[in-house]
Amino acid sequence: MSEDDNGDLGDDWAAAMEEQGETDGDAGADWGAAMEEQAATEDQQAAEAMAFQELESDTDGLDTGDDINLDVILDVPVTISMEIGRTQINIRNLLQLNQGSVVELDRLAGEPMDVLVNGTLVAHGEVVVVNDKFGIRLTDVISPAERVKRLT
């Protein structure tokens, strides 16, 4: 590059910097206007804040006593499961399980099974076979009121 080219290049840079300085001045004014507008909006929002009434304990819509209206929930589907026992094992032993492995549970043979509705214990029972399918004969069931209370 010749010195003439360097001089022209310097002039170009000087012109560009001068032009940018003019633009920065306009941008500063724009930023100032935007900040003032935001402050005015925040003041207006603060002035428009409303005070809400304090909530009162109103149990008119809820049945809190024994007179629960079951009609509301009678058609709600639930999942019933029977649990014969539980155990805890570490991951190492879990990964070693394969076909034919035996896992010892916390219940004795012949003990009643737990009957769970949506994961909540509601009864105990004995295993029976009905039409070539497993079933359970309930031996101990919690009261209907207690069942509803646990499920709601």
Q: Which of 6-15, 125-134, 143-152 has the highest mean pLDDT?
A: 125-134
With CA atoms as reference, report the closest residue to 86 among 61, 69, 63, 111.
Answer: 111
Q: Are residues 41 and 107 in the same domain?
A: no
Asked if 96 and 143 sit in the same domain, the reply is: yes
Instruction: Decide if 134 is inside a domain.
Output: yes
Task: Give tens-digit pLDDT for 72-122.
Answer: 778 889 899 999 889 999 999 999 999 999 999 998 888 899 999 888 888
pLDDT > 90 fraction of the chain, expressed in percent and rounded: 25
Co-location of 75 and 124 in the same domain: yes
Same domain, 83 and 144: yes
Neighbours of 115 (CB within 10 A): 21
Mean per-residue pLDDT for 23-43?
66
- 77 lies in the same domain as 40: no
Q: Are residues 89 and 124 in the same domain?
A: yes
Q: Would 57 be classed as within a structural domain? A: no
Does residue 56 fall inside a structural domain? no
16, 10 in Cβ contact below 8 A? Answer: no
pLDDT tier, 5 (very low <50, low <70, confident <90, very high otherwise)? low
Q: What is the mean pLDDT of residues 27-55?
A: 64
122, with CB counted inside 10 A (0-12, 13-18, 19+), is buried
Show the domain range for 21: 1-50
141 vs 4, which has greater pLDDT? 141
Provide the token pair at 124.
């105990």
Same domain, 36 and 89: no
CATH number of the domain bearing residue 144: 2.30.330.10
Residue 79 shares a structural domain with residue 129:
yes
The predicted structure's pLDDT at residue 74 = 81
pLDDT band at 48 (very low <50, low <70, confident <90, very high): low
